[in-house]
Structures are given as structure tokens and as C-alpha cells.
């Protein structure tokens, strides 16, 4: 059975999601999404801002996967303009070809904060959950301060905060852990699950950093323990899982997806290895996405 995390509303979310942003932004993601589903990733992570929700819907249809086997996420565009939050989701549902999404997120707090509408947006999100258009609701790229604003009046605590939070304030990876750890701790206290996107940035966007030797040593140990080669990417993925975070990947390579899926069967990282990843990570702050949210 695939690993799932329990959300604060009682729902379960698969630990690995396939993201349709970054390389697929504004592009046809049909083939990639279909390949992900057929490889075994049933958690699909989309967004209105990615401008490719229709292609996710096409992939779902072509895959033949039953709706109840899939976990579908989409996110509210940063500027819903004259449309209500509910109407933007209804438009997304039509594009996706489904009656509901499993998770609906506010993609970024920036516009709502500028317009003084963050609490209003969250109130509309709560109505969406009540009506069943989204089984769970949450946020994305929120700092502690952003979360505190909506929690003042919230009837529903966000189920998820999707972030690049470890090596980059809301990017969860080791080189944002200096700023991300406070978000992680706050969310843990409030029962909000962290989803990490860009979690493998240290090995793809910041090679040569202080975490590299730590990953290499852990990779060697796990390779010997499991009897199979273990990559640095799997070590980082294991770290995220053991920290209780959902991992969102955008790799369209079947081999990479298979490698990620195989991570759950690996032995756990030791306490010393986890500490070393975080200790070395805070020595070299690197953020690659959503810098405007964090005034960088």
C-alpha cells in the first residue's frame, strides 16, 4: 500500500505528487501526467496559474484511472480578478473534467494581502469545502505571518501549506531550512501538513554546497544496507518523508519517478544524518522560487 499522510480534516494524502508547474508551465502536460499515473503516481498537483489544467484532464481521461483512485490538487490564481474564488474553482473543475478536487490551495498570499482580502479569500475557501467542491483546503507559499492572519478568524485550519520550505523559506529543502524551519515548526504545532516542492534543488540547482558530502555519505550507507544503489535524490526524498512532508516532483522521466517511488522501501536515515543535513543546509541559504513572497 502506498504511503499516505493523515490531514487535520481526516483525509489522507499520498506522499508523492506529480507537479505540472515549472517545465510544464503554459504547456501541454498530457503525456507527462499520463506517464506519471501509469507509473504509479496518483497524486496530481496542478494550478490555475500553470495554464494547463485542461491537459491534466485529458491525461486523466486517457489513463482510464478511476476518479476515486486519484488525488487531485489545484491552486487559486494569485489574481482571481472579478471572479469569486468559487467560480474560479468551478472553471478549474470543468477543465479537469471532475466534480471536485481533493485539495484546493491559495497559491500565494501576495495579491490578497495587498488588497486586504486574505481573510475574505479564506472564508470563501471554507465555503468551497462545505459545499464539497474541494475535500480539503489549504495554502501555498505562506509564511508564519501569513498563516497567523487567516487563523485569527478561520473556522477551518488549513490542511496543507505547500512550500519550498527547507533551503528557501517556503521551498522545503536543506538550503532554506534556516528560514523554513520556523514555518515547519509552526505548521506542525497547528496540525498543518507541509508539502515540499523543489525539495531536490540542492542537487539540481545548487551543486557544490555543504550538503553534498552529507548526502554522499548517507547514500553510500543506504546503498550497502539495501543492496541497491541509492542516489542523493533519494536521500533528500527520504529526509522529507521522515520530516513528515509530502513531496512534489516535476520530473517527467519514468526512471526518476520510479526511483522516487522506491524511496519508501529504503531504510530510514539516522538521527545523526538528519541533523547533519539540516546543520549543513543552514550554512548556505539558497532560494530559487517565489522570492517576492519573502522579500528576496
Q: Just list the catalytic residues.
A: 50
Cβ atoms 196, 163 nearer than 8 A: yes
What is the grid cell recorded at 215? 548526502
- Strand stretches in 7-148, DSSP E: 12-14, 16-19, 43-45, 71-76, 101-106, 134-140
Q: What are phi and psi of 152, to 5 degrees?
A: -55, -40
Pick from 169, 168, 211, 167: nearest CA to 186: 169
Q: Rounded distance, CA 280 to CA 269, Å?
A: 16
Helix pair angle (144-151, 177-190), 10° resolution: 20
Helix (H, G, I), strand (E, B), or coil: what is residue 163? strand
Q: What is the DSSP letter of 133?
A: S
DSSP symbol at 205: T
Per the annotation, does 285 bind a ligand?
A: no
Q: Which residues are annotated as a binding site for substrate?
A: 107
Amino acid at each position: 500500500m502506498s504511503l499516505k499522510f493523515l490531514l487535520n480534516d481526516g483525509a489522507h494524502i499520498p506522499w508523492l505528487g506529480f507537479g505540472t508547474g515549472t517545465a510544464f508551465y503554459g504547456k501541454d502536460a498530457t503525456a507527462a501526467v499520463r506517464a506519471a499515473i501509469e507509473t504509479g503516481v496518483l497524486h496530481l498537483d496542478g494550478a490555475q496559474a500553470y495554464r494547463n489544467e485542461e491537459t491534466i484532464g485529458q491525461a486523466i481521461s486517457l489513463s482510464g484511472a478511476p476518479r476515486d483512485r486519484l488525488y487531485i490538487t489545484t491552486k487559486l490564481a494569485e489574481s482571481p480578478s472579478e471572479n469569486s474564488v468559487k467560480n474560479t474553482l468551478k472553471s478549474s473543475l470543468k477543465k479537469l473534467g471532475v466534480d471536485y478536487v481533493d485539495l484546493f490551495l491559495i497559491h500565494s498570499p501576495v495579491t490578497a494581502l495587498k488588497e486586504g482580502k486574505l481573510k475574505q479569500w479564506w472564508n470563501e475557501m471554507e465555503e468551497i469545502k462545505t459545499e464539497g467542491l474541494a475535500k480539503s483546503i489549504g495554502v501555498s507559499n505562506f509564511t508564519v505571518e501569513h498563516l497567523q492572519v487567516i487563523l485569527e478568524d478561520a473556522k477551518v485550519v488549513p490542511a496543507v501549506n505547500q512550500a519550498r520550505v527547507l533551503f528557501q523559506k517556503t521551498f522545503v529543502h536543506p538550503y532554506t531550512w534556516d528560514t523554513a524551519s520556523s514555518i515547519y515548526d509552526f505548521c506542525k504545532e497547528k496540525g498543518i501538513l507541509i508539502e515540499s516542492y523543489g525539495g531536490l534543488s540542492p542537487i539540481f540547482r545548487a551543486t557544490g554546497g555543504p550538503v553534498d558530502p552529507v548526502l554522499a555519505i548517507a547514500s553510500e550507507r543506504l546503498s550497502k544496507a539495501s543492496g541497491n544503489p541509492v542516489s542523493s535524490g533519494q536521500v533528500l526524498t527520504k529526509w522529507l518523508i521522515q520530516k513528515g512532508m509530502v513531496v512534489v516532483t516535476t520530473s517527467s522521466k519514468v526512471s526518476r519517478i520510479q526511483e522516487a517511488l522506491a524511496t519508501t522501501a529504503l531504510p530510514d536515515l539516522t538521527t545523526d544524518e538528519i541533523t547533519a543535513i539540516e546543520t549543513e543546509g543552514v550554512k548556505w541559504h539558497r532560494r530559487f522560487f517565489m522570492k517576492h513572497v519573502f522579500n528576496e
